Amino acid sequence: MIALKNYVMGEWVPGAGHGQVLYNAVTGEPVATASTAGIDFAGVLHYARQTGNPALRKMTFHERGLMLKGLALHLREHLDKFYAISYQTGATRADSWVDIEGGIGNLFSYASLRRRFPNESYHVDGEPHLLGKAGTFMGQHIMVPKEGVAVHINAFNFPVWGMLEKIAVNLLAGVPAIVKPATVTSYLTEAVVQEIIASGILPEGALQLLCGSAGNLLDHMTYQDVITFTGSASTGLMLKSNPRILSESVPFNMEADSLNCMVLGEDVAPGMPEWDLFIKEVRKEMTLKAGQRCTGVRRIFVPASLVEEVQKHLGQALSQTVIGNPLNEKVRMGSLAGQTQRQEVLQQVHKLMASSRLVYGSLDHVDVADADAEKGAFLSPLLLLNQDPWHSPEVHEVEAFGPVSTLMPYAGLDEAIALSKMGKGSLVSTIVTADPATARKYVLGAGTHHGRILVLNRECGKENTGHGSPLPLLVHGGPGRAGGGEEMGGMRGVKHYLQRVAVQGSPNMLTAVTNQYQQGADGLNDGTHPFRKYFEELRIGEQIVTEKRLITAEDILAFADLSGDHFYAHLPATNFGDTMFEGQVAHGYFIMSVAAGLFVDSYQKNPVLLNYGIDELRFTKPVYPGTSVYVKFSCKEKLPQEMREAGEIPRGIVKWLVEIFDDKDEMAGIATILTMVRRKQA
């Protein structure tokens, strides 16, 4: 039996004393001891803020994203080691895949998300706002990494995914992390952190690990820190109420276990593909990870006329689940994480049985394969039936965190929506229906009480990721009992670790602050057309003002013939009474094409490889025959691209602000175009 070590202040340090004994959930044998006794928690926080934070803050989003990608690739080389340890937590191969490779998948997802951020250490958030009529005063929001540390207090059910899905977000944001996994399965978390530290990919101080009690860690938090918590609602409330957390206004993101529900639509009947999907999904949610998932289905609502049929089919499906040693290839459900968890689940089930009855499974017996049912923390799947959910508060308040769900009837979709809300907020709900009107009514009616809603039918049956699978780029969290938090969520998740600040000033000053050209700022022109410059040579604000081009009626008709766009406003014979125009008007896309003809450096080969696209194109004023137009063309932003394969042309993406003016110097159109530009070197 080994003593787990804590990784703090750049060193692997064992806790003082004997520590808490951790057990193999399948055999009941001791695996390790864990302790944080003697750890200087104030020092751990100080080290993260003073060492890890500056190192991450000076990196750009693109550099941090590539760091996550490198970390994910490294961890994939050690999967066999992680799986071998994961089996000791009672997890099957499928359970472990979700935990281990699902967690690594989060690193890949957030690595890719770097492209949504600038190649800077900060983020320019949203559009600029002109605050004066003359265009000399404006405002822009930017977001900078907080100067503190992210403290993650995680649950026992996903010792790898729980850590990686959270640190992917804060590391991309530029904030270090202190991970405090649930002690009972922390030996798996420790193994993964060992490989992370050994890789040398993260800067010093970016990640620390506490295997054991959090001690007085929260008593030393500051307003620059962020806390995320996953676990029970009662424990989360206790931590959130810490006087230091309240006095310092420390952001506290909580994802609590909740009474998630699944609804079978009234349109679904036995024999339909949706019926089979429903039975399969409920069975999966009850047995995957032995039901120990914060997103697990605890309440099952079905039309009253189908309760008996659903009960029969679910019982048949559950009876086919082989329970036992996860190392046995036939086993589909392992054990709970430990004997303590099993006892807690049984206690909660007894509370539920005050108003519900057991219709599948046994409280005191389970057949297991290749294991000892008494020594291991095994439990039969338990399906309960409650015929009166309106007058049974237990089913909407008590969660048995294991393979336990309660089946309940409803009459009409309005009832199903109301019953779903009686859980007082959940992480996820699923509606299984083939009827679009039912899906719409349920989502709009129940959306206030659930962080995520899966609409499941035959169309997405094969590709959907399931009721219980939060995805990196979507919000993971929920209102009310679920904690009110938002873990992950793509860019939204990253912003939890950034401070938004509104910057006001002149266009020139805001261009300097953001390193993005702001409309109205002075342009730079050294006499060389910007298309003749390599990516590295281009400067933000580099600008040309083109010659003018006269727009004629013949031009407009020729473009109409060439494009096939003979919209009435482009035809001279149109009666323009009761229209928005005075007469024949040029196509907006023709004006944009003319603009390209004016600003493109034609004929001569140059470092511009191709036109990559157009963003935010607007036509702001009609252009009539006889009008001359010209363009102000400015280098707005530069985004480098890494080479994915040998032999690729080294390149980057350049965003250009295109402002089209008429001969009255009034704006007729504005757009951001993107070009792919060759770099001198990789």
Q: Which residues are part of the catalytic machinery?
A: 255, 294
| 67 vs 27: CA distance, rounded Å | 38
Residues ≥6 apart with Cβ < 8 Å to 629:
548, 549, 551, 591, 594, 595, 598, 623, 660, 661, 662, 663, 668
User: Do residues 82 and 194 make contact, with C-beta atoms less than 8 angstroms apart?
Assistant: no
| 138 vs 132: CA distance, rounded Å | 7
158 Ramachandran zone, left/alpha/beta (phi>0; psi -120 to 50):
beta
User: Do residues 318 and 360 make contact, with C-beta atoms less than 8 angstroms apart?
Assistant: yes
Q: Which residues pair with 180 in a beta bridge?
A: 153
How many angstroms from the chain centroid is the CA of residue 388? 37
Question: Which residue, 149, 65, 78, is CA-closest to 106?
Answer: 65
Residues ≥6 apart with Cβ < 8 Å to 353:
384
| 680 vs 682: CA distance, rounded Å | 7
| 593 vs 393: CA distance, rounded Å | 66
Give the strand pairing for 487-488 and 498-505: unpaired
Residues ≥6 apart with Cβ < 8 Å to 125:
141, 142, 143, 495, 500
User: Do residues 442 and 263 make contact, with C-beta atoms less than 8 angstroms apart?
Assistant: yes
How many angstroms from the chain centroid is the CA of residue 427? 14
HEC assignment per residue over 212-226: CCCCCHHHHCCCCCE
Helix and strand numbers (H, E) in the chain are 20, 28
Exposure string of 240-251, with b = 16+ CB inside 10 Å and e = fewer, is bebeebeeeebb
What is the phi/psi pair of residue 405, to 5°? -140, 155
Residue found under tokens 């039918």: 457
Amino acid, single-letter form, for residue 537:
E
Q: How deeply is 70 buried, as exposed, middle or buried, from its count of CB atoms within 10 A (0-12, 13-18, 19+)?
A: middle
Strand, helix or coil at 64?
helix
For residue 577, give both structure tokens: 């009474």
User: Do residues 28 and 185 make contact, with C-beta atoms less than 8 angstroms apart?
Assistant: no
Kindly tell me the sign of the dihedral angle through the C-alpha atoms of 94, 95, 100, 102: positive
Question: Which residue, 259, 135, 71, 77, is CA-closest to 632?
Answer: 135
| 313 vs 612: CA distance, rounded Å | 53
What is the phi/psi pair of residue 217, to 5°? -55, -45
Question: Which residue, 114, 236, 116, 98, is CA-closest to 168?
Answer: 114
What is the phi/psi pair of residue 248, to 5°? -95, -5
